[in-house]
Structure formats: C-alpha cells, structure tokens
Amino acid sequence: MTDEREDVPLDPGVVELAKGYNTPPAADRDAIWLAIQARRQSAVDSRQSSGDRRLARGSRMPVLSTRAAAWISGIAALLVLGIGIGRMTAPTVETVATAPAVKPPSMALEVAAAQHLSQSEAYLTLFRASVRSGQVDSLPVAAARELLATNRLLLDSRVADARLRPLLLDLELVLAEITQLGTSGRQADVKLITDGLDHGDVMMRLRVAPGRRSLPNGVL
C-alpha cells in the first residue's frame, strides 16, 4: 500500500514520449479476418473428419500467416481483375475474323499465374516436409482449397495455353487430393499424392514453368 500512497505520475511530456513506444500502425483488418475465417473453417473440416472426440484439435492448428492469407486473396483478386479486363477488352465477333487466332493473355493474368505457381510450389514443398516429419495434420487445408480455386480460374482463362495447361491439370489433381485427405486410409492417400508429385515431376515443372520465366524482373 505504501507504493500506492507514494506513487507520482511521470511528467506528462515523458508519458507523451512513452506513447511513441511501439506505436501501432493501422491493423489490416480484412487480411486478419480472412485468416481467421480460413483457420476456423479448417478447424471445422478437421473436426468433421476426426469426430467429436478430437474437438480440441482445431485450436492447436498453426497460425495461417496473415501475409499468406493476404497473398492468396491478392492472387485471387488479381486473377478476377485479369479475367474481367480480358472479357471487357475481348474482340467483338466482327473483329475476331481479322484478329490472330490466339490472343496472348494480359499481363495481369500472367502475373496472377506466376504468383499462383510460386504459391503452389511453396505449399507443396511444405506438404512434402510435413509428410516427412509425420505432421500432415498440421497443414492448413484451407490454403490448398484456395489454391485449388485459383487453379480452376486459371484453367478457364487464356493463360492456360498448351504449355501451361498440362501442369495446371496435374496441379489440380494434387491439390484436390490434398483437400480431400481423410483420416481413414490416410497413409495410402498421402503416398498416392507424393507418388503423383514425383512421377509427374510436378515440383520441377512448377519451378521451370513458362509463365514464371517470362515476367520482367521485379514483378514478383
């Protein structure tokens, strides 16, 4: 109690200086909310596949980095923008006859595709590391779902040309398998996915994919 009686506030000027300590910037609420929703959805999926006895598992899932969530949403937004621009600037029926048979994809689409391939490579690298360490459960399935959605958008776009389409199709298969990983027969499913990755050289093809090489320096 002596402490309380004798306590004197610091000089207001010093308190003002103290307010400059770790001054918070504006919070990126949308990115945080997106990440929260992804984690909660992931926890729900986990509960559904694990049964009621493992209800607490969701709270132990690793934090889906806000930056990662922002990246994924950014890619999706860029992709939608690219497709939108592509549709708005698409030639009319009359001009199609004189235009080249295959119009090259817009820059926005190429950037979105390159970012998607880069994210997919990172995710699949994480997946393989999780398999090796026996921690596949800790992998955020929601991220695979987002990648799968982006992949499907890209497959429907002009960017999916003869060179990129086979890779996107293989990627779709792998991502779909990851999102559907259940608890029963899990080992066999994981082995199928890793075999698919190895036999199709998916990782190598992701690294040397045409879209990732043709972008100007600094785009990614």
Binding site for another protein (CB under 8 A): 1, 3-4, 6-15, 17-22, 24-25, 27-29, 31-33, 35-36, 39-40, 58-59, 63-67
Closer Cβ to another protein, 6 or 94, answer by number: 6
Q: Which is nearer to another protein, 34 or 113 (CB)?
A: 34
Q: Which residues contact 50 (CB under 8 A, 6 or more apart)?
A: 57, 183
| Residue with smaller CB distance to another protein, 47 or 152 | 47
Our CB check for another protein shows the closer of 46 and 151 to be 46
Q: How far is the CB of 9 from another protein (least distance, A)?
A: 6
CB nearer to another protein: give 3 or 52. Answer: 3
CB of 141 to another protein, least distance (A): 16
To the nearest whole angstrom, how small is the minimum distance from the Cβ of residue 209 to another protein?
A: 28
Rounded least distance, CB 51 to another protein, Å: 18
Contact 146, 76 (CB under 8 A): yes
- Phi, psi values for residue 97, rounded to 5°: -60, -35
Minimal distance, residue 28 CB to another protein, in Å: 6
Nearest to another protein of 69, 111 (CB atom): 69
| Shortest Å, Cβ 146 to another protein | 16
